[in-house]
Amino acid sequence: MGSAILWGVAGASLLGGAIGTAMAALAWRYRDRPAMSAFGWLMVVCAVWAFLEAMRMLTSDLSTVYALDRLVRLASSSTAPLVLVFVLAYTGNDDSLRPSVVGALWLVPISYGVLSLTAPVHGLTSGVEAAHFVTQHGITVGVVTGDLASAVEAVYGYVLLLIAFGLLFRFLLRSRAIYRRQAAIVAIGTLLPVAVDLAEMIIVTNHPGVDLTPASLGIMGLILGWGLFRYDFHDVTPMASDMLVSELPDPVVVLDEDGLVLDHNRAAATAFGKHRLGGRSINEVAPGLPTHFDGNSVYTYSHLDTDEITYFDPRVTVVEDQHDIERGRLVVLRDVTGQQRRQDRLEALQAATQQFITAESDERIADLAVTFSERVLDQDAASVFLYDEHTDALHLTAASEAIERAFPDDARVVEDPDHPVYDAYHGGSITVTDVSDRHPGSPFPALMLVPIGDYGLLLIGSRETGGFVTEDEQFATILARTTQVALSQIERERELRRSRQAIERRNEQVEFFDGVLRHTLRNALLVMQGRADHLRDHVDETRERHLDRIVQWCTDLSELSEEIEAINDTVRATEARQLDTVDLAVVLRDCLDRSTGDFEDATIDLTIGDDLTVLANDLVEKVFDSVVSNAVTHNDAPEPRVEISARRIADRVQVRVADNGPGMTDEMKESVFERNVATSQTSRGFGLYFVSVMMNLYGGTVWIEDNDVHRNGERCGAVAVLEFKQAETQHTSQSAENEPV
């Protein structure tokens, strides 16, 4: 049983040494931070002490016991100075760590070490004869009898530890809350080995050769390491605890539990217009202030003597005692008057913008500009002059009551180029001028002239000379630009209404003549077809082919008239009425049937899947007929071939019409869809310009690519690519939902 205890204590010492070594390595990694070097050296010495103590307890040779005991005492005597050095560095007393002070701390340990090593010479410390084995509780361990020098060294170590603990606890009481928990952990960790050592001295039944202190050093290292690195406060040099609040520009007051002012700084007395605030209720000093302590609202204080308003943002810190009981409050009142006024101005400008958007006339916009210039700039004089290009003059369109009273009727129109208002308007830049010399009796000696683009000028008057600051100019510029945008919007709306009316009139005229033309054309075609049928009984069979040709042309022209009418209806229709959901497979198969019948010498293939729906209308059939007809008509291959394919690409459906004809030059690819390209260059009917127009109406695109086919060793062929918008159907919606993200 005794052997197991001995091995357990020795193993704990070895574990403590390993922990100390690990903590020393971690401190070395962060050695550039305050207190880390001292912590690292402390852990090195603790690790050495623990390893040596484990070896001493397990050795069975008395000379080895004596040698290890001397080394253990050297390590233990160095621990207390290192603890004090660490505490001085941790608490921010680096100025005390001068070489002379550090050397003085090691004077006793070094002296004791020298005496121990030279014991055979002078006999002042225990020699090797003092080593002997002690058997107690079934445990046999070699020990060395103590002496006077070791007792002095122990007392010296405890004195240093008391000083270190005093510094730690003073730092703990004075430190800020963010450091307090870490400081408590450091104090507990440092105190643990001392408590274990004192307990071993008090418990007389303890074996004199079995020491638990080295094992506790490992626990101390863990606690100190956790405290230092868990909170990451390596540099804990305390900030000055006594802030010079009396010199702060913001008002500061200290309140007790009942809301009475205990202390304040000079800024608080100045802000509330009272020399002494102590002993008075905060509600009496600043009415309503306590209601703003628990929120983020701004406190408004009105100065009774000057009618000025100051805005404060209260910041409250609860003052608690050591039992976490609230004893009062520290209130810092940050002056946010400037920020609040800027916010009020911005809100006023935002409100102005919203009203400007709904204004329906220049006069209304001018009235809004005057109203909001008074609100934004805290001035009671503003006016708007609008420029009239017919008279080349500025007319007073809107003005505040003060301006109305100050300006006579003959000053409401400014047409003199030398007039300051006219000059500022043509100058195009904001101008602040003093008119007190030219107009001594003017109620507004300072004027701010802000051009509103080409539309006019905003005039703002101040009753005080130099009454405008840079911020006033900035907000006035923003207001003028907002006014300019509103006026330009009114002008654009006028032009838009005029253009819309002109377009409507033009559409009505075109629709009328188009209707007359189609009606007359259809009647003429019916007459021609009827006459041809009448003549059929009066001509021989050899001449009937001429009548057949006439009838065919009448039929073709009648169909063309209907197609033109459908195209016009599509162009004039709104976007919602232009497009329908079209099944592309049905349309392309019908196109294949028609093309196969019309072009018997050409091979036309179609590759298309189901569920391909696009946004188009009935004219999409003519679009594909025109593209396929163009591909076949201009195909000079011995065996003309056209391949039609369709597939879905993202939210689009792409149709490719590829031929093995002569292909197109790059210049022709760019110009083939233009209006000036004759239909004879493309195909019969409307040609590819019609295709381009319809694809644009469908919200799609069309272009020409080279085909990858060869004839006689040379590349040939072209591909017409038509890309449609995919229609939203139940199938496509489910496909989108099932598509992986």
Q: Could you report the per-residue pLDDT of 516-543, keeping only the tens digit for each? A: 666 677 777 787 878 778 777 777 777 7
Q: Name the least confident of 429-443, 489-503, 594-608.
A: 429-443
Tokens for 22? 């690990």
| Contacts (Cβ under 8 Å, ≥6 apart) of 332 | 248, 250, 251, 252, 314, 315, 316, 317
Comparing C-alpha atoms, which of 96, 76, 101 is closest to residue 167? 96
Q: Name the least confident of 40-49, 245-254, 309-318.
A: 245-254
Angle at 208 between CA 207 and CA 211, to 5 degrees: 85
Cα separation, 77 vs 65, whole angstroms: 18
Classify residue 335 as exposed, middle or buried by CB count within 10 Å of its CB (0-12, 13-18, 19+).
Answer: middle
Classify residue 551 as exposed, middle or buried by CB count within 10 Å of its CB (0-12, 13-18, 19+).
Answer: middle
Assess whether pLDDT exceeds 50 at residue 241: no
Highest mean pLDDT among 334-348, 373-387, 415-429, 655-669: 655-669
Assess whether pLDDT exceeds 70 at residue 473: yes
Assess whether pLDDT exceeds 70 at residue 570: no
Q: Name the least confident of 99-113, 413-427, 497-511, 591-605.
A: 497-511
- Give the mean model confidence (pLDDT) for residues 6-12: 81
Assess whether pLDDT exceeds 70 at residue 437: no
What is the residue whose two structure tokens read 């630009």? 481
Decide if 359 contacts 486 (C-beta within 8 A).
Answer: yes
Assess whether pLDDT exceeds 60 at residue 237: no
Q: Name the least confident of 529-538, 658-667, 686-695.
A: 529-538
- What pLDDT, in 10s, does the model give residues 120-144? 677 667 777 777 888 877 787 878 8
Please report, as a single letter, which amino acid is at residue 552: Q
Q: Please say whether the dihedral angle defined by the alpha carbons of residues 170, 172, 175 and 179, taken in this order, is positive or negative.
A: positive
Cα separation, 141 vs 36, whole angstroms: 37
| pLDDT the model gives residue 575 | 54
- What pLDDT, in 10s, does the model give residues 571-592? 666 555 568 899 999 999 999 9
- Give the mean model confidence (pLDDT) for residues 467-478: 77
Assess whether pLDDT exceeds 50 at residue 730: no
- Give the mean model confidence (pLDDT) for residues 169-198: 74
Banded model confidence at residue 174, pLDDT cuts 50, 70, 90: low
Cα separation, 296 vs 286, whole angstroms: 17
Banded model confidence at residue 180, pLDDT cuts 50, 70, 90: low
Domains and CATH numbers, the chain: 2-230 (1.20.1070.10), 245-335 (3.30.450.20), 575-738 (3.30.565.10)
| pLDDT the model gives residue 9 | 80
CA atoms within 13 A on the CB side of 438: 8
Helix axes 107-117, 62-90, angle to 10 degrees: 170
Decide if 190 contacts 167 (C-beta within 8 A).
Answer: no
- Give the mean model confidence (pLDDT) for residues 110-118: 80
| pLDDT the model gives residue 577 | 58
Q: How far apart are the first and last CA of the chain?
A: 68
Highest mean pLDDT among 73-77, 369-373, 716-720: 716-720
Cα separations in angstroms, 423 against 335, 382, 451, 456, 484: 41, 18, 10, 11, 18
- Give the mean model confidence (pLDDT) for residues 267-273: 82
- What pLDDT, in 10s, does the model give residues 536-557? 777 777 777 788 888 888 887 7
Q: Which residues pair with 705 in a beta bridge?
A: 719
Cα separations in angstroms, 183 against 137, 167, 696: 40, 11, 76
Assess whether pLDDT exceeds 70 at residue 175: no
| pLDDT the model gives residue 683 | 38
Cα separation, 233 vs 179, whole angstroms: 8
Cα separation, 89 vs 96, whole angstroms: 9
Cα separation, 365 vs 397, whole angstroms: 10
Comparing C-alpha atoms, which of 399, 438, 254 is closest to residue 328? 254
Decide if 449 contacts 430 (C-beta within 8 A).
Answer: yes
Tokens for 537? 């009984």
Tokens for 550? 């006439």
Cα separation, 129 vs 140, whole angstroms: 18
- Give the mean model confidence (pLDDT) for residues 356-361: 79
Assess whether pLDDT exceeds 60 at residue 445: yes
The percentage of residues in the chain with a pLDDT greater than 90, rounded to a whole number, is 9
Cα separation, 413 vs 324, whole angstroms: 74
Cα separation, 383 vs 461, whole angstroms: 9
**Which one has a higher pLDDT value, 576 or 667?**
667
Decide if 617 contacts 581 (C-beta within 8 A).
Answer: no
Classify residue 158 as exposed, middle or buried by CB count within 10 Å of its CB (0-12, 13-18, 19+).
Answer: middle
- Give the mean model confidence (pLDDT) for residues 335-364: 75
Banded model confidence at residue 604, pLDDT cuts 50, 70, 90: very high
- Give the mean model confidence (pLDDT) for residues 203-207: 64
| pLDDT the model gives residue 349 | 67
Cα separations in angstroms, 717 against 246, 641, 690: 90, 10, 22
- What pLDDT, in 10s, does the model give residues 617-632? 888 998 999 899 989 9
| pLDDT the model gives residue 701 | 94
Strands 641-649 and 603-607: parallel
Tokens for 490? 């009114």
Q: Name the least confident of 50-64, 421-435, 555-569.
A: 555-569
Cα separations in angstroms, 485 against 203, 374, 479, 687: 92, 20, 10, 45
Decide if 689 contacts 668 (C-beta within 8 A).
Answer: no
- Give the mean model confidence (pLDDT) for residues 339-351: 70
| Contacts (Cβ under 8 Å, ≥6 apart) of 223 | 185, 188, 189, 192
| pLDDT the model gives residue 739 | 45
Cα separation, 330 vs 317, whole angstroms: 5
Decide if 465 contacts 436 (C-beta within 8 A).
Answer: yes
Decide if 400 contacts 374 (C-beta within 8 A).
Answer: yes
Report the SS3 class of residue 276: coil
Assess whether pLDDT exceeds 80 at residue 192: yes
Assess whether pLDDT exceeds 80 at residue 339: no
- What pLDDT, in 10s, does the model give residues 348-358? 667 667 777 77
Comparing C-alpha atoms, which of 606, 584, 583 is closest to residue 593? 606
Burial 702-738 (b: 16+ CB within 10 A, else e): bebeebebeeeeeebbbbbebbbebbeeeebeeeeee
- Helix locations, 599-673, DSSP H: 620-633, 666-671
Decide if 674 contacts 689 (C-beta within 8 A).
Answer: yes
Assess whether pLDDT exceeds 50 at residue 147: yes
DSSP string, 323-357: TS-EEEEEEEEEE-HHHHHHHHHHHHHHHHHHHHH
Please report, as a single letter, which amino acid is at residue 24: A
Q: Is the pTM of this model over 0.85?
A: no
Backbone angles phi, psi at 263, to 5 degrees: -155, 160
Average pLDDT, the chain: 79
Cα separation, 424 vs 433, whole angstroms: 10
Comparing C-alpha atoms, which of 559, 629, 547 is closest to residue 596? 629
**Which one has a higher pLDDT value, 320 or 107?**
107
Decide if 2 contacts 137 (C-beta within 8 A).
Answer: yes
| Contacts (Cβ under 8 Å, ≥6 apart) of 434 | 445, 446, 465, 466
| pLDDT the model gives residue 510 | 66
Dihedral, 108, 113, 116, 121 alpha carbons, nearest 10: -90
Tokens for 6? 């001995």
| pLDDT the model gives residue 733 | 44
Q: Which residues pair with 317 in a beta bridge?
A: 330
Assess whether pLDDT exceeds 60 at residue 177: no
**Which one has a higher pLDDT value, 33 or 369?**
369
| pLDDT the model gives residue 516 | 65
